[in-house]
Chains A and B, each alone.
Chain A
């Protein structure tokens, strides 16, 4: 059992270290391509991070210690979240209700970086934290409904249970859709990057960050991005994958196979979300909330369907 967890932990760290590469791929082959640019080299994000780590540390005189503590914390929190996510779909991982823990960790991770930004005492950080929290509020309601449907249908909120048996019902499919949209909201890209909105509030809560701290912040954000797309992938494609790999009867092999499949699928999801974001403009705050409110009808209908048994 314990080695399983060690493997999970290793995977988490490995992924966290590979995320910049993924970002590089997105920057070159998604964003630059769609913008008809040559774009940076794939390992550009690593260059950026290395450079940032070399830079000096600028700290606002009004900032409290949290300002320094927050970025690494938010990074490690998102790693902990990755750790929960059972890429290998093995039963010995996870526990009842780990999805909720995951959701809380997601919020915690973004909350930490927000608080760090707030701790700098910069007015724009305040504006952006206001925006981000309004977004969190709206999106958590959204998520709650979606999870409710899944819980109703699976009678369990354990990622393993949800991700290994397939239930093909309209309500569940709608719940998947909900999760996808949630992933889109949570991967802070346009149009939902209103909390960073460089032309408006000068990248909000990040405004005071520079050097190594900024590097941690970026790493944390990227990891969260991967996390949400993987969460969607594991829940939605998990059943299919586990069915596909069920013939393989060497356990270790099967789990590795699962892991490879889930990870590659989540990368695909990650990149396609990137494509979607590139062809969007940024929402006005109120519009972002309105849109989420509108889409909340999806999980609500799903819930109704689920209750009446579809």
Chain B
């Protein structure tokens, strides 16, 4: 381990961000924004640096996270257990995720500098300045921690900060509602997680990740844990049956926050699944793979099908986030099913690669949508239009982002999708092949969705918004977009670099047999040829374009509408409603199915549970205890363990009951919150 970064320096971003959220309250509104933003920028750069170092040196060792040690020791006094600190470590996987986090947070922090200013006077910028670094910190901590409790704490911290950020526009009822829906569902998820983790650590007798590697479960527990973990993380990842919070929550948050949410927060679930299920616990990869890939393809198809019928730019993107997460899980699930076949390795690595890519272009797209909101104040695709000429940078980055997410070569989206598809297709596993075929369809749907976004936002005639006084977004926002856009191109053209990163990350967590290899990077050199050819083609066409405009006599004409001028109505062409109506009516059964489910399952549940939990406070005071519980429970736990150690036979009888008690306790909370959260289905 010849790393230039000692493991404790890994914590510098954390300290930095903490500093940020401590000092910003004492500053003025705008000053606090500047400070916290710049601090987060610094932190993000640090993260990127750390991740690169870590990846080059194959991970950093284990260290102690001192800050919470005090608390834990206090508890240890109370419960008479030996003092304890939380361990952090950075291995290839964490490094990869840190890289993604670093990039997205960098962009969104830069973007936030001027974007959040539109809330001056409306909302408290201090609040934002405190929450934003906290949010980053929680996510970062989540990635680096190697301890169950720290994991839970940062997980809860992330959820709650995210909640406040989503509900940032307090005046906006819709936003608050969406935020609550998110809060409840993610709370429900996390309580499942807590149960799972409690069981795990009770069995392993330690909360340290390294300790978890050794545990073995009897089948029932094994599958219970699997189910709990998948649902728990699935809610955060918004996999399809558990997705309903995302399309409401992401659009309502400030755009750079939406970028972070879609760009990274939902990816933490990906991280969690990988980390726990088969790195630590080595669960039955086949069953797990089947579940994940099935959920994945379901989300991919559902998300895109919903995306193409949206008329709200950010909702459209939110749905496509569901779809892309689906893609990622399809890759990962495939990777698990095909284990130990080398194809699985590719699929898994590609899944990770797609995580990074999606973080980049979805972040980018949300930022462009934010740009539109910033200038026109609208995200309604019916009223937008014709902004290409007045907002060239936003438009160009939107174009690149859309092409990238549609998986158009030579941009980054293509390679990861392609590398997910191939192994599944040629694996010969019928289900995976079918899934891959559907995935091709899903990517076509994505294309359609984002062409709609481009067309209605940038190209065709402006509808209700007057583009006359619209200007390009201010510099910081533009910079952020340019950063991500150029990354889309670079990571596309030099796709082997991130793919190597991903594959090394996979390589040092599970070992695939390299017996049956069809794709190696050497085989991909022809792809490079094609990409070079494409880039060349684009350059040549650029030259041609320049040449034509220079050489030919060029005439500007009004758009040809068959010779009518004065008679024309304000709204020409299609509005967002009109897009893909024919497709919808041809393949209507999909949408019909959805509405059936909604009518038969969701509505009754809502009716039945609306009387529970009317207001927001009810939930918070259901909520807070568990966050505390998460912190309190650990020493409690060790206490049980200690007892257990000393009175072994007694433990034999005692542990299960304790488990039962805690599980029951949590279950009650879960049910209560679940009923509550169902209320907010109403707002789908």
Interface residues of A (CB under 8 A from B): 5, 9, 56-62, 64-66, 68-69, 71-73, 75-77, 79-80, 83-84, 93-98, 100-101, 103-105, 107-108, 111, 114-115, 118-127, 129-131, 133-134, 136-138, 140-141, 143-145, 147-148, 151-152, 155-157, 202, 207-208, 211-213, 216, 285-286, 289-290, 293, 303, 307
**Chain A to chain B contacts (Cβ below 8 Å), 25 pairs:** A9-B533, A57-B554, A68-B545, A76-B537, A96-B422, A97-B421, A100-B425, A107-B444, A111-B406, A118-B451, A121-B459, A122-B460, A123-B559, A127-B574, A134-B586, A140-B444, A144-B436, A144-B440, A148-B433, A207-B560, A211-B552, A213-B548, A289-B582, A293-B586, A303-B434
Interface hits, B595-614 → A, CB 8 Å: none
B440–A138 touching, CB < 8 Å: no
Q: Complex Cα distance A72/B455, Å?
A: 20
Cβ contact within 8 Å between A138 and B583: yes
Q: Choose, from B132-140, B143-151, B478-486, B519-527, the stretch at the interface.
A: B519-527
Question: What A residues does B534 contact at CB under 8 A?
Answer: 76-77, 80
B211 within 8 A of A: no
Contact of B573 among A127, A131, A147, A289 (CB under 8 A): A127
**In the complex, which residue of chain B has the Cβ closest to the Cβ of A293?**
B586
Q: How far is the CA of A94 from the CA of B458 in the complex (A)?
A: 38
Taking a contact as CB atoms under 8 Å apart, the answer to whether A143 and B440 are in contact is yes
Report if B579 contacts A (CB, 8 A). Answer: yes
Residues from chain B with Cβ under 8 Å of A58 in the complex: 555, 557
B474 within 8 A of A: no
Tell whether B438 is near chain A: CB-to-CB under 8 Å.
yes
Assess whether A307 is in contact with B530, with CB atoms less than 8 Å apart: no
Report chain B residues within 8 Å CB of A71. Answer: 541
A219 to chain B, nearest CB (A): 12
Interface of B with A (CB < 8 Å)? 386, 388-389, 392, 395, 399, 406-409, 414, 418, 421-422, 425-426, 428, 430, 433-434, 436-441, 443-445, 447-448, 451, 454-455, 458-461, 518-519, 523-527, 529-530, 533-534, 536-538, 540-542, 544-545, 548-549, 552-562, 572-574, 578-580, 582-583, 585-587
Provide the bound-state CA to CA distance between A108 and B408, in Å.
6
B560 contacts A208, CB within 8 Å?
yes
Contacts of B558 in A (CB 8 A): 60-62
Cβ of B524: which chain A residues have Cβ within 8 Å of it?
A: 95
B459 near A77 with CB under 8 A, answer no
Chain A residues, CB < 8 A from B572: 123
Q: Which residue of B lies closest to A9 (CB)?
A: B533
What 5 pairs across the A-B complex have the smallest Cβ distances? A76-B537, A123-B573, A72-B541, A144-B440, A140-B444
Question: Chain B residues near A76 (CB, 8 Å)?
Answer: 533-534, 536-538, 540-541
10 new A-B pairs (CB below 8 Å) besides A62-B389, A80-B530? A76-B540, A100-B421, A101-B418, A105-B409, A125-B460, A129-B455, A133-B447, A137-B441, A208-B559, A285-B582
Give the residues in chain A near B425, CB-CB below 8 Å. 97, 100, 147-148, 151, 157
Q: Taking the nearest CB of chain B, how far is it from the CB of A11, in angstroms? A: 13
Q: CA of A75 to CA of B527 in the docked complex: distance in angstroms? A: 19
Q: Which residues of A contact B461 (CB under 8 A)?
A: 62, 121, 123
Report how far A143 CA is from B561 CA in the complex, Å.
36
Rounded to whole Å, the gap between the CB of A249 and the closest CB of chain B is: 26
Which residues of chain B come closer than 8 Å to A56, judged between CB atoms?
Answer: 552-555
Of A84, A125, A156, A285, the residue contacting B530 (CB under 8 A) is: A84
B533 with A80: CB separation less than 8 A: yes
| Distance to closest chain A CB from B641 (angstroms) | 50
Contacts of A155 in B (CB 8 A): 426, 428
- Please measure, in the bound complex, the distance between the C-alpha atom of A76 and the C-alpha atom of B428, giving whole angstroms: 34
Q: A56-B554, A101-B527 known; A96 and B426 CB under 8 Å?
A: yes
Docked pose: A117 CA to B576 CA in angstroms: 18
| Contact assessment for A134 and B583 in the assembled complex, using a CB-CB cutoff below 8 Å | yes
Count of A-B contacts with CB under 8 A?
250
Partner of A60, one of B426, B540, B559, B578: B559
- Chain A residue at smallest Cβ distance from B429: A152
- Looking at the assembled complex, report how far the CB atom of A185 sits from the nearest CB atom of chain B, in whole angstroms: 13
Most buried by B among A57, A62, A290, A303: A62
Supposing A122-B559, A130-B574, A140-B440 touch, asked if A104 and B414 sit within 8 A by C-beta, the answer is yes
Q: Which residue of chain B lies nearest to A5 when distances are taken between CB atoms in the complex?
A: B529
Bound-complex Cα distance A71 to B542 (A): 10
CB-based contact A157/B545 at 8 Å: no
Q: Are B444 and A115 in contact (CB under 8 A)?
A: no
Q: Report chain B residues within 8 Å CB of A216.
A: 544
**Within 8 Å CB of B552, what residues of A?**
56-57, 211-212
Alpha-carbon distance A289/B451, docked complex (angstroms): 19
Contacts of B538 in A (CB 8 A): 73, 76
Contact A148 B561 (CB under 8 A): no
Interface centre among A68, A95, A212 (most CB of B within 10 A): A95
State the CA gap A64–B572 with chains docked (Å).
Answer: 18
Within the complex, the shortest CB–CB distance from B492 to chain A, in Å, comes to: 12
CB distance from B676 to the nearest CB of A (A): 38
A80 to B535, CA, bound (A): 10
* A202 to B: closest C-beta gap in Å: 8
Q: Which residue of A lies closest to B409 (CB)?
A: A104
Q: Which of B533, B549, B580 contacts A83 (CB 8 A)?
A: B533
List of A residues within 8 angstroms of B399 by Cβ: 66, 115
Which residues on A sit within 8 Å (CB–CB) of B525?
A: 95
Give the distance in Å from the alpha carbon of A145 to the alpha carbon of B526 in the complex: 26
Q: In whole angstroms, what is the CA distance A257 to B422 when docked?
A: 31
Given contacts A95-B524, A111-B447, contact A130 B579 (CB under 8 A): yes
**How many Å lie between the Cα of A9 and that of B552 in the bound state?**
30
Supposing A61-B557, A122-B560, A137-B445 touch, asked if A130 and B433 sit within 8 A by C-beta, the answer is no
Query: Which residue of A69, A75, A98, A141 contacts B526 across the interface (Cβ within 8 Å)?
Result: A98
Contact A95 B523 (CB under 8 A): yes
Contact partner of B586 (CB less than 8 A), chosen from A59, A123, A140, A286, is: A286
CB contacts (< 8 Å) of A120 on chain B: these are 559
Q: Cβ of B574: which chain A residues have Cβ within 8 Å of it?
A: 123, 126-127, 130
Q: Which residues of B contact A119 (CB under 8 A)?
A: 388, 459
**A62-B389, A97-B418 known; A286-B527 Cβ under 8 A:** no
Docked pose: A76 CA to B530 CA in angstroms: 11
Given contacts A76-B534, A118-B454, A123-B572, contact A140 B441 (CB under 8 A): yes
B361 to chain A, nearest CB (A): 16
Alpha-carbon distance between A120 and B558 when the two chains are bound, in angstroms: 10
Which of B414, B437, B587 lies in contact with A145, CB distance below 8 A? B437
| Partner among B439, B459, B537, B562 whose Cβ is within 8 Å of the Cβ of A118 | B459
Nearest-neighbor residue (CB-CB) of A68 within chain B: B545
Contact between B548 and A115, CB atoms less than 8 A apart = no
Given A130-B574, A148-B433, A286-B582, A100:B440 Cβ within 8 A: yes
**Beyond A69-B542, A141-B444, A286-B582, is A94–B553 a contact (Cβ under 8 Å)?**
no
